[in-house]
Amino acid sequence: MGAGHAHKLYRHGHSPVHDLPPHCKLVAVLCFVVVVVSTPREAVWAFALYAALLAGVAATARIPAGFLLKRLVIEVPFVAFALLMPFVVPGEQTELLGVPVSVPGLWGAWNVLAKGTLGVGASVLLASTTELRSLLLGLQRLRLPPLLVQIASFMIRYGDVITDELRRMSIARRSRGFEARGVRHWGVLAKTMGALFIRSYERGERVHLAMVSRGYTGSMPVIDEVTASRTQWAYASVLPVLALAVCLLGWTV
Amino acid sequence: MSLPTAPAPSLEVSGLAYAYPDGHQALFGVDLTVARGERVAVLGPNGAGKTTLVLHLNGILDAGAGTVRVAGLPVEKRHLAEIRRRVGIVFQDPDDQLFMPTVREDVAFGPAAAGLRGAELEERVMTALKQVGMEAYATRPPHHLSFGQRRRVAVATVLAMEPEILVLDEPSSNLDPASRRELADILRSLDVTVLMVTHDLPYALELCPRAVILSDGVIAADDRTQDLLCDDELMREHRLELPFGFDPRSVVVPLT
């Protein structure tokens, strides 16, 4: 709980990828994902090339493969969904290891699996080479509504404070002999959540007061302006441009 | 009126009264003048209206009656931005005060909101952090600092606005003795008017030559801190109690 200096996804390091301005990386990942999604699913080789491209980025960023693969686990629910598709999608049937499966289902599963994995892979790479704080600065630079950026940065700042409050309440509960066992105690837990909400709400009011006292009038002052040179943009665009070339090949071949 | 050559007092509160929207009246005509460079303690039991008074100083609450002036400028809607720059309030819980992701950005918030940018802003931030001895922690997130360090950063966040008057709400609460002493050293080293709201009486005696007692929404006494603390009857009347074994008569208060 709040042990690390940065968030768990981030892997500290200095590499050309780490050093790119956050908004360049955000745009590059977004474009890459759009390109991947618009590739025809029959062009199986194209997806292999995409994976190779991501591996190239990971190598430049000096992120070990094991680190990336472990973080890909987040995808598991989607994989489960994809694995169901060959059995539930109607259409032409074929036999796989003696089990009847549907052909459109198989293609659908492959589609979800390949595109999903590539998208998650690109995002994991982004997260492991960019600190949360600079991600927010990047989003701010990309003109995401400032209110959303503010909400996100308050989440980072107060996440630990609120978890800590929850932990203290839980200790207080247990010190008075309460142990949550089964459905009968859900009421107590629900009241805890209610109390936590009220405490957080009141903290929000106090924080707002402190902000207003220091001249807040509705918009966050820009303290760190992130900028990118033309070279940095060009460097960041290597990934989506190469991917686009692969995609176009996939449509023509 | 003061002499025409003298600078306007840092804080001038006269006839300030306030009732909350629910009808509860917290202040009944408060008069208080704090000269430039003075350090004054506001003492009073819980519920005496101390926090309500503080929130009037920078216009968070609008006076029901009476006026507040900061270095001659009345606290009114059209001056709010300048008033909030001049009055630096350090709230009781540093977690409320430090809301930005890093110490540096937090200290920069006030001056940046006032329009400062670039190298000038950077310099202002580092100066403020040096004043409280926290310049080595500029890139840290506030929630990874100790409580005493957070309190010091909270002081820096308002110092960065170069305020006319520093208002501290219970500055010594939750601090261990070493942090208390460190904060006292910092406050003494600053060349700024200080208004300190507290019920930590030894701390008030240590830092503020003058004190006022706020009780039931009025200033009940205004005198040298040591004289107030030695007046047993007055203290009892306003529910102010000294810690066990503490005798204000035996303390030699350093001058200034």
For A69-110, the pLDDT digits (tens) are: 888 888 888 888 888 888 888 777 777 777 778 888 888 889
Assign A33 to helix, strand or coil. Answer: helix
Complex ipTM above 0.85?
A: no
Q: Which of residues 205-224 of A touch B (CB under 8 A)?
A: 206-207, 209-217, 221-224
Q: What percent of chain A has pLDDT over 70?
A: 97
The answer to whether A212 contacts B109, with C-beta atoms less than 8 Å apart, is no
The answer to whether B99 contacts A206, with C-beta atoms less than 8 Å apart, is no
pLDDT in tens, B123-144: 999 999 999 999 999 999 888 8
The answer to whether A217 contacts B113, with C-beta atoms less than 8 Å apart, is yes
pLDDT in tens, B150-200: 999 999 999 999 999 999 999 999 999 999 999 999 999 999 999 999 989
Residue of A nearest to B106 (CA): A223
Q: List chain A residues with CB under 8 Å of B81.
A: 215, 217
Query: How far B167 CA sits from the closest chain A CA (Å)?
Result: 11
Query: How far A51 CA sits from the closest chain B CA (Å)?
Result: 35
Which domains, from first to last, does chain B contain?
11-240 (3.40.50.300)
pLDDT in tens, B29-59: 999 999 999 999 999 888 888 989 999 999 9
Residue A2 pLDDT grade (very low, low, confident, very high; cuts 50, 70, 90): very low
Tokens linked to B159: 């110092």
For A169-175, what is the mean pLDDT?
86
* Nearest-CB residue to A209 (from B60, B95, B157): B60
Query: How far B5 CA sits from the closest chain A CA (Å)?
Result: 31
- What number of helices (H) and strands (E) belong to chain B? 10, 10
End-to-end Cα spacing for chain A: 52
CB B142 within 8 A of CB A157: yes
Spatial distance between the Cα atoms of A229 and A21, rounded to a whole number of angstroms: 9
Place of tokens 């107590």: A188
The answer to whether B101 contacts A209, with C-beta atoms less than 8 Å apart, is no
Q: List chain B residues with CB under 8 Å of A154.
A: 99
Tokens linked to B38: 């003075």
In the 8-state DSSP scheme, what is residue B175? -
The answer to whether A133 contacts B101, with C-beta atoms less than 8 Å apart, is yes
- Identify the pLDDT of residue A125: 92
Sheet holding B65-70, edge to edge: B25-34, B11-19, B65-70, B73-74
Residue of B nearest to A213 (CA): B84
* Nearest-CB residue to B93 (from A136, A206, A223): A206
CB B93 within 8 A of CB A206: yes
Q: List chain A residues with CB under 8 Å of B89.
A: 210, 213
The answer to whether B112 contacts A221, with C-beta atoms less than 8 Å apart, is yes
Does B4 have pLDDT greater than 90?
Answer: no
The answer to whether A222 contacts B112, with C-beta atoms less than 8 Å apart, is yes
